[in-house]
A and B are shown apart, each in its own frame.
Chain A
C-alpha cells in the first residue's frame, strides 16, 4: 500500500474514532440529575442525618443546587461528591435536623415520597424519592449496642445487651414487604421469621443480630438505597410495651457496568 493510502486510512480511522466516541459520549449522558429511590427510616428525635444519593453527569451544566422537602422545609442540604465514575458522579446530599424543630414537632411520624429539586439553570422539579419515614417519637433505649460491623459483601452484625429484664414480643424490619426478598436477618442464628416469641432476656443478657443483604446484580433494587431499622417490640417487667431499634447498615455500591445500564435506561429502572 502506498504512503498516501496509509495516510488516508489513518485519517479515516481518526474520523471514525471521533464519530464513535462522540456518539457514545452522548449516549452516556443523563438528561438531568437523577435521584435514586430511597427506603429510609430515620430517627429524627435522635437527630439522625438525612442522606440522599443522586447521580449527575460529570460535566453537567444542570446541577442540583438545592433540595426541599415540602413537609420539612427547614432541612438544609449540603451536596458532596461521593463517588466518581467515567461519565457520572454519585452525589450525596446530607441534612441535619434542627434540635428546636424536632422538639417543637407535634407529629410523631412524617412520610416523604417526593422532593422538590432546584437546579442550577433556575428550574425546579418534583421528583419521586422512594419512601423516607421520619420518626419524631422520643423513646428511651432499653438496649445498648456492644459492637457492630458490616462488610462490602452485604453482611453485617450487631451485638446488643438488654439494660433491663425484657420479653421480646416481635421483631420486624422497616418496609417489610420491600425488604423481605432482599434481606435475611437472624437473632442468635435463628431466622427471625421462624423465631418463637416471646423471648426473654434478663438484665445484662446479650444477643447477636446477623444480617445479609441479597441485592441482585441487576434489576431495580440495585438502584435503590436502603436504610431500614430493625424494630424490636418488648414487654417490660411491669407490663409496659417498649420499642427499640437497630440500624441495619447497607453499603451502597454501583459498578461502572450497572451505572451504564442505568444511564441507558434513562434512569427509568423502577
Chain B
C-alpha cells in the first residue's frame, strides 16, 4: 500500500466525518457537505486502481458535490411539528441526498471488500461485508419509513428518532473502515 493510498484513505475517512457533522450558525453550515464530498471524490479517484467500484463511488461523490451545495443554507433538522409545513420538494431533496449517500457508501463498502480480499485480510473483508449489509438495511428502513411521517400520529416520531440514532451509529462503523485500512497500510510499511 503506497503513501498515496494512505492519503486517499485519510481523505475518504475525514470526508465522511465532515458530512456527518452538521454545525450551523443560524442556517449557515460551518462544515458544508460539498467539501466532504470533494474530499471523498478526490480520495476515491486515487483508489480507482484497487477496485472498479471506487470509480462508481467517485462519480456519485462528484454528483453529490453539486447536489449538496444548496444544503449549506438549508436547516436539515425538520421537526415533527413543522414536518408537513416543509414543502414536499425539500423533503424529497433531503431524501434524494440520503439515497445517493447510501449508494455512495454501498460502492465504497464494495471497494473495501475488494481491497481486503486483495490484501488477504479475511477478517476485515468479512467485517466490511457485514457492516455493508447492515448499513444498507438500516438506511433502506430509514428511507422507507420517512414518508410515513406525513400520515402517522406524532408518537411515531420516537421510532423515527430511534432509526436516525441507529443510522448514525452504523455511519460511524462505516467511517471507521478507511482508518482501519490506513492502519493496515502503516503497519505493512513498518514491516
Residues of A within 8 A of B (CB): 6-7, 10-11, 13-14, 17-18, 20-22, 24-25, 28, 58-59, 84, 86-87, 256
* Sample (22) of A-B pairs whose CB atoms are under 8 Å apart: A6-B136, A7-B106, A10-B140, A13-B140, A13-B144, A14-B140, A14-B143, A14-B144, A17-B145, A17-B146, A17-B148, A18-B92, A20-B147, A21-B147, A21-B148, A21-B150, A22-B150, A24-B151, A25-B150, A59-B82, A86-B151, A86-B153
Hey, which chain B residues are within 8 Å of A84, CB to CB? 154
How many residues in B have their beta carbons less than 8 Å from beta carbons of A?
22
The 4 closest A-B pairs by CB, nearest first: A21-B147, A59-B84, A10-B140, A25-B150
Asked if B84 contacts A86 (CB within 8 A), the reply is no
B159 within 8 A of partner (CB)? no
Asked if B85 contacts A59 (CB within 8 A), the reply is yes
Hey, which chain B residues are within 8 Å of A59, CB to CB? 82-85
Shortest B87–chain A CB gap in Å is 11
Hey, which chain A residues are within 8 Å of B85, CB to CB? 59
Partner of B88, one of A14, A20, A22: A22
Chain A, residue nearest B82 (CB): A59
Asked if B151 contacts A14 (CB within 8 A), the reply is no
Most buried by B among A7, A14, A24: A14
Query: CA A94 – CA B99 in complex, angstroms?
Result: 48
Asked if A86 contacts B152 (CB within 8 A), the reply is yes
Given A13-B144, A14-B144, are A7 and B84 also a contact pair (CB < 8 Å)?
no
Chain B, residue nearest A57 (CB): B84
Partner of A87, one of B136, B140, B147, B151: B151
Chain A, residue nearest B85 (CB): A59
Chain A, residue nearest B98 (CB): A14
Hey, which chain A residues are within 8 Å of B84, CB to CB? 25, 58-59
Shortest B134–chain A CB gap in Å is 13
Hey, which chain B residues are within 8 Å of A21, CB to CB? 147-148, 150-151
Shortest B167–chain A CB gap in Å is 14
Shortest B160–chain A CB gap in Å is 13
Q: Is the interface of A mostly helix, strand, loop or mixed?
A: helix
Query: CA A262 – CA B95 in complex, angstroms?
Result: 32
B65-106 contact mask (Cβ, 8 Å, vs A): 1 or 0: 000000000000000001111001000100100010000001
Query: CA A22 – CA B85 in complex, angstroms?
Result: 14
Chain B, residue nearest A9 (CB): B140
Chain B, residue nearest A27 (CB): B151
Partner of A17, one of B88, B92, B106, B144: B144
Asked if A18 contacts B147 (CB within 8 A), the reply is yes
Hey, which chain B residues are within 8 Å of A18, CB to CB? 92, 95, 147
Chain A, residue nearest B139 (CB): A10
Query: CA A59 – CA B140 in complex, angstroms?
Result: 28
Query: CA A57 – CA B82 in complex, angstroms?
Result: 13
Chain B, residue nearest A58 (CB): B84
Query: CA A18 – CA B151 in complex, angstroms?
Result: 11
Hey, which chain A residues are within 8 Å of B140, CB to CB? 10, 13-14
Query: CA A57 – CA B54 in complex, angstroms?
Result: 47
Query: CA A6 – CA B99 in complex, angstroms?
Result: 15
Hey, which chain B residues are within 8 Å of A22, CB to CB? 88, 147, 150
Hey, which chain B residues are within 8 Å of A14, CB to CB? 99, 140, 143-144
Known: A7-B136, A86-B151. 7 other contacts (CB 8 A): A7-B106, A10-B136, A14-B140, A17-B145, A18-B95, A24-B151, A59-B84
Shortest B129–chain A CB gap in Å is 10
Query: CA A123 – CA B83 in complex, angstroms?
Result: 26
Shortest B100–chain A CB gap in Å is 12
Asked if B153 contacts A17 (CB within 8 A), the reply is no
Hey, which chain B residues are within 8 Å of A87, CB to CB? 151
Chain A, residue nearest B86 (CB): A59
Hey, which chain A residues are within 8 Å of B95, CB to CB? 18
Query: CA A22 – CA B144 in complex, angstroms?
Result: 13
Hey, which chain A residues are within 8 Å of B147, CB to CB? 17-18, 20-22
Chain A, residue nearest B148 (CB): A21
Hey, which chain B residues are within 8 Å of A28, CB to CB? 151
Of residues 4 through 39 on chain B, the ones whose CB sits less than 8 Å from some CB of chain A are none
Shortest B82–chain A CB gap in Å is 8
Shortest A88–chain B CB gap in Å is 11
